[in-house]
Amino acid sequence: MKWSESIKLNIRMLKHLFKASPGYCIVNAVNTVCDSAFLIVRTLFYKNIIDVVVYSKEPMEYVIVIFLIYYLLMAVSYSINFRIQNNFNEKEKIRIAQYYKNLICGESIKKSISNFSDREYADRLHNAAYSDGEHLYSFAGFIFDFVNGVVTFIFFFGLFIELHPVFVLVAFMTAVKNIICAAKTNKAQFKKYQTDLMFERHNRYLYNLFYLKQYAQEMRMYPIAVHFVKKFKLLKELHWKSKKKSEYQIRYIETLSGITDLFFYLLSMIILVYFLITQKITVGEFSIVITNLTLAAGNIQRVLMFIPNISNEARYIKDIFSVIDREDYVYPEVRNTDGQEKAVFKNVSFSYDGENPVLKDINLELPLRGKTAIVGKNGSGKSTFIKLLLGLYRPTGGEIEYSYHDAYKCNTLQLFSTLLQDYKVFALTIADNILQKGAGEEEHTYNLGIKEALQFSGLLEKVERFPDGIDTVLSGEFSEDGICLSGGEQQKLAIARAYAKNNPVLVLDEPSGNLDPIAERALIDKINKLAEDKAAILVTHDLVYTKNVDLVLVFEDGCILEYGSPEELLREKGYYYRMMSERSKLEGIV
């Protein structure tokens, strides 16, 4: 990557840091300057007291007092640093993490489901989502390091050169060695990080299987665990194979660096002892070099590593921005046309894997008013058709055009309310599970809206019996007295969610799936009532639902087999007629 690009990426991250916490930048910048000044004062003070102790005839009390002053200085500088590093910075890092999560979550949702089929995107998103925003403050850290490095480098350079140029040479050699090692290690680290990404994502899935309550039942009833343990072993072996080279490289460099450090240390010791014996330096100077040589080398290194460090960091930042900069998923547009409420499917086909078509050349004018039922065998493509209609997936062939009379419904997200088969209930309050409170919305009207939705789905009576009502937390994940709802109740919650969204077209995929017959009957009545002022499109295997609808679509093998009102389809005596007859026979037996 070019330097200019690295710097641009780092500055972009720094701008985010400034937005997240301007205090972090200002306080740490001031602290860096003060810390460098403090270090200089302390070091000079230390050198002088050692020489006072060894060479002067000052009384013991005087020596004790200057030692105390020295330790007081140390204590003040450490405690300021400690408070900033552990108190202020840690608090600010929570704020920064919150900002970062908001950014990543917001952005990843905008990219929508369609991007998840891209593996590289999934790996990067996984990594970005698991990070706590550390990359936000890394560039600021390099700048602070650089400033501190320059100030202290100038100081030590002056100090060492005054004693003997050989100390500057040793410090330089150590620094250059460290820079070469760091450059090699960084490259290997980044390679390792890239191979870690996919493994981490798979590993977390496996970990969730053993940890999450929702899998516990199946994991106990069926001997699946053993397969996943095998899978884990396989993944671990594969992962090791792919990162082995980088891992060995890192360890090899570390060992080599350690051996060279030892050599430099011995070399400087020999020189120092020789200078001390030949009285070229004082004990204070001996002590200052021995304690600060590594520090001085570190400072040279920090100054020289500034550019390599930011280019290394830019590689990671680029990954995060590749998630943020990914094009937003644009939901299909809805045309505002007076008196026309329809979705027109023109030669629409769809395939999940690019090979096997799940929907084949569908031509259809689907009214977005009244009630429509979609029936057909399992796997015939009904749910896929619904996802395409909602705009969650784009057709792989052909197109869908939407028209609706309401100018405020600009895209499919604003047009449809949905209850899909794979709905999820979250570890939040019941109210938050149904609808997020809008900005400026009054508590009273919000609560009324939630209650109306619960009333519609038939869950209100139960919820009102909970001591915290609609503020009851679901699941024990975050709250010890979190409530567990039954499968049917969870579905009612999802129905309430669809109702509360209050969009003009309600789309329900198998809404009676988990409901008992009484609840099912009640739901049919409600959908019928609802469809008086809203449109309803429902996928169902239960033909009871289809009796009072305006239109029935029969799906078979990715195509529309029959299309018409229930009366028309019964007259045609096709598939729908046969299914209805079977059902009537069954009812007769019961």
Binding residues for ligand ADP, per CB under 6 A? 352, 358, 376, 378-384
Is 10 or 384 the residue whose CB approaches ligand ADP more closely?
Answer: 384
Is 298 or 381 the residue whose CB approaches ligand ADP more closely?
Answer: 381
Smallest distance from the beta carbon of 358 to ligand ADP, in angstroms?
Answer: 4
Smallest distance from the beta carbon of 332 to ligand ADP, in angstroms?
Answer: 19
Kindly tell me the sign of the dihedral angle through the C-alpha atoms of 156, 161, 162, 164: positive
Smallest distance from the beta carbon of 539 to ligand ADP, in angstroms?
Answer: 6
Is 70 or 393 the residue whose CB approaches ligand ADP more closely?
Answer: 393
The rounded distance, in Å, linking the Cα atoms of 312 and 60 is: 53
Task: Tell me which amino acid residue 369 is.
Answer: R
Which residue spans within 341-456 are E strands per DSSP? Answer: 342-351, 357-367, 371-376, 397-404, 416-419
Q: Which burial class, exposed, middle or buried, applies to 317 when counting CB atoms under 10 A from its CB (0-12, 13-18, 19+)?
A: buried
Is 100 or 555 the residue whose CB approaches ligand ADP more closely?
Answer: 555
- The pair of three-digit structure tokens given for residue 405, joined into one six-digit string: 């009379």
Smallest distance from the beta carbon of 376 to ligand ADP, in angstroms?
Answer: 6
Smallest distance from the beta carbon of 524 to ligand ADP, in angstroms?
Answer: 20
Smallest distance from the beta carbon of 343 to ligand ADP, in angstroms?
Answer: 17
Is 393 or 466 the residue whose CB approaches ligand ADP more closely?
Answer: 393
Smallest distance from the beta carbon of 507 to ligand ADP, in angstroms?
Answer: 13
The rounded distance, in Å, linking the Cα atoms of 293 and 308 is: 23
Provide DSSP, 482-535: PBPPPHHHHHHHHHHHHHHH--SEEEEESTTTT--HHHHHHHHHHHHHHTTTSE
Is 163 or 551 the residue whose CB approaches ligand ADP more closely?
Answer: 551
b/e map of 266-286 (b: 16 or more CB within 10 Å)? eebeebbeebbeeeebbebbb
Smallest distance from the beta carbon of 349 to ligand ADP, in angstroms?
Answer: 13
- Specify the DSSP element, H or E, that contains 561: strand 559-564
Is 379 or 438 the residue whose CB approaches ligand ADP more closely?
Answer: 379
The rounded distance, in Å, linking the Cα atoms of 536 and 372 is: 6
Task: Tell me which amino acid residue 45 is.
Answer: F
| Coil, helix or strand at residue 473 | strand
Residues listed for the chain: 590
Any residues with CB less than 8 A from the CB of 493 and at least 6 apart, and which? 425, 430, 433, 434, 457, 459, 485
Smallest distance from the beta carbon of 440 to ligand ADP, in angstroms?
Answer: 38
Is 151 or 388 the residue whose CB approaches ligand ADP more closely?
Answer: 388
Is 387 or 437 the residue whose CB approaches ligand ADP more closely?
Answer: 387
Q: Phi/psi zone of residue 398: left (φ > 0), alpha (ψ -120 to 50 degrees), beta?
A: left
Smallest distance from the beta carbon of 339 to ligand ADP, in angstroms?
Answer: 32
- The pair of three-digit structure tokens given for residue 572, joined into one six-digit string: 């045609």
Distances from the Cα of 333 to the Cαs of 329, 343, 364, 412, in angstroms? 12, 11, 18, 7
Backbone angles phi, psi at 325, to 5 degrees: -85, -5
Smallest distance from the beta carbon of 353 to ligand ADP, in angstroms?
Answer: 6
Is 249 or 421 the residue whose CB approaches ligand ADP more closely?
Answer: 421
Is 381 or 449 the residue whose CB approaches ligand ADP more closely?
Answer: 381
